[in-house]
Amino acid sequence: MKTLIVVLALLPLGYAYYTLESAIDPIKMLYTTTGVGAMLLLLLSLAPSTCQRVCALNLLRFRKTLGLFAFVYALLHVSVFIVLDSELDFVTLFAKSLKKPFIYVGVIAFLILLLMALTSTKKLFARFSRYHKAVYGALVLILLHDFWAQKVAGAFEYGMMAIGIVLVGERVWHECRFDMSKRH
Amino acid sequence: MPTPSITPEILFEARRHFLKLGAGALVSSTALSQLLASMPEEIQLSFTKDPNPLKLTPNTFEQVSNYVNFYEFSTDKTAPVKMAQVMKLKPWSLGFFGEIAREEMVEVDDLIAKFGLEERIYRFRCVEGWSMVVPWIGFPLYKLLDYLRPNSKAKYVKFTTRHEPDIFPDQAKGLFASIKHPYVEGLRMDEARHPLTFLAVGMYGKPLPKQNGAPIRLVVPWKYGFKSIKSLDLIECVEEQPLNTWQAMAPEEYGFYANVNPHVDHPRWSQAKERVLGKLTKQETLMFNGYEKEVSHLYAGMDLRKQY
């Protein structure tokens, strides 16, 4: 099962590798595949705890793998920004990052994912797990980043947002119900 | 130019042949398929070649015809390639209205016969940050304007894409359409009369592929690509500045002029550099997309930061 997840998670990367040669707009293609990969995996990493509550299916052991893969794609996405798009011109890169909301929103989201990835070892996770709730902040910022990156938002953007709302909404609803039952 | 009646003629002849032969039909149908196979697949246009003084290297036909913004079909870059094949290009008449000597509708083929064809190898820069070099085939817009004879009230030229929801699925989506339809663009009269401003009916020696805005489109090489409106239906000479579609959609992001300018960023992204299609490295974007010498006088005294 874990191997299957790893293989599935590597699919977007394989796609990028095989289409790079023939890509008409290669930088855009790499941005899209790594960005979409990160978003899908991040949403998937939120699914196991939903599954456990809704259908008593315990997939929690895959959560870390999915989350780390989401981080790997985000890292590749940022690398495209730094190496290919900005061509290691750090002055312009910082100027752009500070000036353009769509970029700094993405940078903040990436920093959150970076901290989560660094504290994902068993030992550190025990201490930092409560800070991992920041993933919801990262999710909101990433969805916003994707919206702003498009000239007009299409079905994909609205689809991602809908999935995000369902996953977060279920948690909020669950918390509320839990609160109510505590009061009784 | 071969006329569209060629195919029916061949089929007609083949059918007569077929009827004559009667039982020998098999042979005849093989002959028919051979005939069809030997027909030229694509019409080649005859035109004056561009000497290419800027020594531009065109992108490949595959790149240019498989990476398009044609929101009437889809916001995706490649989906319109298949979707656009439902377009019927003949007949296609273009309407000329407004402040001109005589309002009329003219077939695209008649325009080609009237004005002749020439090649223009132009840079094309999209507001999204990518660029390409395309050998267009067509005629300069001033030739058409000379023919239409705009009167003294004609200060602007307004262009409109065909509105036909049966062909363009996004036009049938009403409130859920990706942009406002029909697509509208505009040029100031002096911009429209500039010798670089071009109406393209072909590219790479052939008629325009449907997804590239067939049968006739505008090409304004010093402006962002969205000014170069596709699949034209109407050209009107008007007194007031037309409200172009992208300005109507997001006025703080897209203006009327939309001149390529590396010093004025789009609010969401930088315009200093561009990605040439097919390349992993970027290149500097040039003022007025490299046509500064030819067009900068049109904007003398204007604040290009405000009039973006």
A61 and B CB contact within 8 Å: no
CA-based nearest residue in chain B for residue A31? B280
Kindly state whether residues B269 and B154 are assigned to the same domain: yes
Tell me, yes or no, whether B53 lies in a domain: no
ipTM associated with this complex: 0.84
Asked if B237 contacts B147 with a C-beta cutoff of 8 angstroms, the reply is no
Kindly report the pTM of this predicted structure.
0.85
Residue B196: which of B226, B219, B215, B217 has the closest Cα? B219
Tell me, yes or no, whether B213 lies in a domain: yes
Kindly state whether residues B143 and B287 are assigned to the same domain: yes
Tell me, yes or no, whether B52 lies in a domain: no
Kindly state whether residues B255 and B222 are assigned to the same domain: yes
Give alpha helix (H) positions in chain B.
Answer: 6-21, 25-38, 61-65, 79-83, 108-115, 141-148, 189-192, 245-249, 292-295
Asked if B278 contacts B131 with a C-beta cutoff of 8 angstroms, the reply is no
Which residue do the tokens 């290669």 mark? A26
Domain extent for B33: 6-38
Per-residue pLDDT of chain B (308 residues; tens, 9 = 90+): 444 444 444 444 444 444 444 444 444 555 555 555 555 456 889 999 999 999 999 999 999 999 999 999 999 999 999 999 999 999 999 999 999 999 999 999 999 999 999 999 999 999 999 999 999 999 999 999 999 999 999 999 999 999 999 999 999 999 999 999 999 999 999 999 999 999 999 999 999 999 999 999 999 999 999 999 999 999 999 999 999 999 999 999 999 999 999 999 999 899 999 999 999 999 999 999 999 999 999 999 999 999 99
Tell me, yes or no, whether B266 lies in a domain: yes
In sequence order, the β-bridge partners of residue B159 are: B185, B235
Tell me, yes or no, whether B109 lies in a domain: yes
Domain extent for A70: 2-183
* CA gap B218, B206 in Å, rounded: 16
Q: How many structural domains are present in chain A? A: 1
Q: How many CA atoms lie within 13 A of A163 on its CB side?
A: 16
Kindly state whether residues B14 and B77 are assigned to the same domain: no
Kindly state whether residues B196 and B270 are assigned to the same domain: yes
Q: How many structural domains are present in chain B? A: 2
Q: Give every CB contact of residue A27 below 8 A, 6+ residues apart in sequence.
A: A80, A84, A85, B275, B280, B282
CB contact under 8 A, A151 and B272: no
* Shortest Cα–Cα distance, A103 to chain B (Å): 8
CB contact under 8 A, B270 and A27: no
Alpha carbon dihedral B235, B241, B245, B251, in 10-degree steps, equals 170
B71 and A CB contact within 8 Å: yes
Kindly state whether residues B24 and B166 are assigned to the same domain: no
Kindly state whether residues B11 and B78 are assigned to the same domain: no
Mutate to test the interface with A, among B273, B276, B283, B285 (most CBs of A within 10 A): B273
CB contact under 8 A, A100 and B269: yes
Which amino acid is present at B77?
A: K
Kindly state whether residues B22 and B71 are assigned to the same domain: no
CB contact under 8 A, B77 and A25: yes
Kindly state whether residues B207 and B275 are assigned to the same domain: yes
CB contact under 8 A, A154 and B277: no
Kindly state whether residues B23 and B150 are assigned to the same domain: no
Kindly state whether residues B69 and B27 are assigned to the same domain: no
* CATH code of the domain containing B215: 3.90.420.10
Asked if B161 contacts B72 with a C-beta cutoff of 8 angstroms, the reply is yes
Kindly state whether residues B266 and B211 are assigned to the same domain: yes
User: CB-based burial of residue B30 (10 Å sphere; 0-12 exposed, 13-18 middle, 19+ buried)?
Assistant: exposed
* Shortest Cα–Cα distance, B266 to chain A (Å): 9
